[in-house]
Amino acid sequence: METLKAAIPENLKRAIGDSDVDDLRSTCSSLHRFFLHFHPFHQMITELADPKYALCAKNKDAALKSRLLGNQCFSNADYAKALDCYTQALREAPLDTASDMESNLVVATLYINRATVLHKMSLIVECLRDCTRALQICPSYAKAWYRRGKANASLGNYKNAICDLNVAKSVEPSMGGKRQIEGELKILLDQCKSTTAVEQIQHTENNCNTVGEMPHIKLQRVSTPDKGRGIVSSCVISPGFLVHAEEPYAMIILKQCRETHCHYCLNDLPADRVPCILCSIPLYCSHQCRIRATGQMFKIYPEYNGFFKNLPSDLGEYAAEVIQCNDSELEIGDITEHKHECQGVHWPMVLPSEIVLAGRILARFLLNIPPEDIINFVERLELSHCYKQMSSERKLDSHIYAIVLLYCLQHSCGIMFSIDEVFISQVVIIISQIKVNCMTVVRLKSIDAHGLSGRFGEFPFQSGAHSTSNVEQVRVGKAIYKAGSLFNHSCQPNIHAYFLSRTLYLRTTNVVAAESQLELSYGPQFVRL
Ligand SMILES: C[S@@+](CC[C@H](N)C(=O)[O-])C[C@H]1O[C@@H](n2cnc3c(N)ncnc32)[C@H](O)[C@@H]1O
């Protein structure tokens, strides 16, 4: 990026640095023309966005190497390291959703390798989930049914464990293997008899869409002479009242949280984190979050039916239920935030977070409105911006990034659009809108009296359990909330912002008189206990 900047003629840099919104078409056009004739620009776009140079693509050899390392760590009983290696291998291993079971066996095996480590680490629920993931890829995988049976037995789900082992016995090819499973089955049947109530542990994936009580009051948008638009309440509101809840228009995880938090819901990643199907960058806490971020669904292969038919009818029904993905029932909406960044191209890793966030806003437009409406997208966003007040340096950066981002998106998002001065100037405005309206998503981490860090994302107003805890705020993401960005700042705020997963909540901290503005502090939010 510095090479591009250094090569821009001084008079053009000055024109951009001195520009106002009305000059944008002219300055964007001049810079675009300059880049079109500047070879290093094209070279940079190729390196950032051409799948041929993708550094974050799937790589079977790398996956096999990571698996080998995982196997060595497992043999040395270094389970924590083995867990990391298998997760890395899962990130790297290609999974062909349009292919047959055999070609995806590597991924299924990796899930079972990891499930075995998770069992050793007593993370049984996580182990069970990995077994199910392996079976969704490869339903006739005897070892996966066997491992699932062992996990269910450890959880006391004897009925399910017996069914798992019976399926394992049916699909196990070797006589020795069948005999071993029969031995295990005998022990389990005895245990089952001595258990009066068999608890069915449901398959639980994290639900990232927790929406609390919804506001019942009427908020109104107003225009003020000193602060621009703002929000007032039409009635008196008491303290602690939830006045607003909103999902982000676009959101991105912060770079420092990429390995620790789910790239979609921002909750802590569990030990059985799931990777993106098409690239090696994001990690998700569940299949559901992956689907919401990428739109990538699992396909039930036609040959599954043959597999079920060969099982006794009750076992066939059980197996079908286990591997059934309810993915198609998920509401994906139009927010597949990662889809256009996928396939291993590395511009989403390299460009600054707010530029990748601008790309997510743009992709949402590009994928959902007819191309002729694209020139109006800044008006549709209805966000204020600060282009005029930006420093000359930032104006220049936003011009360069707007052009680079559009060329990267043209390679990645699969939609044809022409890049001209109108489009570029709108992206410059979006970058400046992000600067004014972007919220840092924080999670609350409670540290109890013994100094143990514990639960994230719980709002102390709702739970007396934290009254003796210290609360630390951890920054995890950046997001644009369209309605949320209409609330102005005050040094004496009457509302407080907090986040549960991706959702923004605004709650009153004082009594708010009718017709008064609802305002929050834009600085760090400190929660009063
Ligand atoms: C997130 S927006 C808030 C909504 C904004 N007023 C609008 O019209 O869209 C932030 C911008 O609002 C204005 N603003 C917010 N609080 C303010 C305050 N206390 N004093 C002056 N301007 C304020 C500033 O222009 C700031 O850049």
| ipTM reported for the complex, 2 dp | 0.99
pLDDT, position 334: 56
Q: Which residues line ligand 1 (CB under 6 A)?
A: 226-230, 384, 386, 436-437, 485-486, 488-490
Q: Which residues of the chain have pLDDT under 50?
A: 196-215, 449-468, 525-529
- DSSP state string for 208-241: -----PPP-S-EEEEEETTTEEEEEESS-B-TT-
pTM above 0.95? no
Q: Burial, 233: exposed, middle or buried (Cβ in 10 Å; 0-12, 13-18, 19+)?
A: buried
Instruction: Give 433 Cα–ligand 1 centroid separation in angstroms.
Output: 12
Decide: 101 and 140 in contact? Cβ < 8 Å.
yes
- Site to substitute for ligand 1 among 219, 489, 518, most atoms within 8 A of C-beta: 489
Centre of ligand 1 to C-alpha 522, Å, is 10
Residue (of 209, 212, 208) closest to 243 by Cα position: 212
Whose alpha carbon is nearest atom 21 of ligand 1?
227
Which two tokens mark 154? 């450890």
Looking from the CA of residue 485, the nearest atom of ligand 1 is 1
Residue with tokens 């140079």: 53
Ligand 1 atom with minimal separation from the 489 CA: 16
Query: 489: CA distance to ligand 1 center in Å?
Result: 7
Residue 210: the pLDDT is: 36
Residue indicated by tokens 């040959």: 303
- How confident is the model at residue 300, as a pLDDT? 53
Dihedral sign from CA coordinates of 476, 205, 505, 281: positive
The residue type of 310 is N
> From the alpha carbon of 384, which atom of ligand 1 is closest?
9
Which atom number of ligand 1 is nearest to the Cα of residue 230? 6
Domains of the chain: 2-37+351-437 (no CATH), 60-194 (1.25.40.10), 219-248+438-528 (2.170.270.10)
Q: Which atom of ligand 1 approaches the CA of 436 most closely? A: 27
- Distance CA(30)–CA(86), nearest Å, equals 50
What is the token pair recorded at 466? Answer: 């934290």
Give, in degrees to the nearest 5, the angle at Cα 251 between 509 and 345.
160
Q: Whose CA is nearest to atom 9 of ligand 1?
A: 384
Contact (Cβ atoms closer than 8 angstroms) between residue 509 and residue 493: yes
DSSP string, 11-51: HHHHHHHT--GGGHHHHHHHHHHHHHT-HHHHHHHHHHH-G
The gap between the terminal CA atoms of the chain, to the nearest Å, is 46
Pairwise CA distance, residues 161 & 318, whole Å: 11
Q: Ligand 1, atom 7: nearest CA belongs to which residue?
A: 229
Tokens of 487: 């609330």
For residue 46, the tally of other CB atoms under 10 A from its CB is: 13
DSSP code for 251: E
| Angstrom distances, CA of residue 491 to CA of 255, 445, 506, 519 | 30, 25, 16, 9
- The alpha carbon of 46 and the centre of ligand 1 are apart by a number of angstroms equal to 39
- Ligand 1 centre from 59 Cα, in Å? 47
Place of tokens 């990891």: 114
- pLDDT tens string 31-78: 999 999 999 999 999 999 988 888 888 898 999 999 999 999 999 999
Q: Which atom of ligand 1 is nearest to the CA of 522?
A: 16
How much is the pLDDT for 68?
97
CB atoms inside a 10 Å sphere around CB 222: 14
From ligand 1's centre to the CA of 202, what distance in Å? Answer: 47
Structure tokens at 142: 């005897």
Strands 488-489 vs 519-520: parallel, antiparallel or unpaired: parallel
> Which residue, by CA, sits nearest to atom 23 of ligand 1?
227
Pocket perturbation via mutation, ligand 1, pick of 221, 223, 224, 227 by most ligand atoms within 8 A of CB: 227
Q: How far is the CA of 231 from the centre of ligand 1 (A)?
A: 11
From CA 172, how far away is CA 181, in angstroms rounded? 9
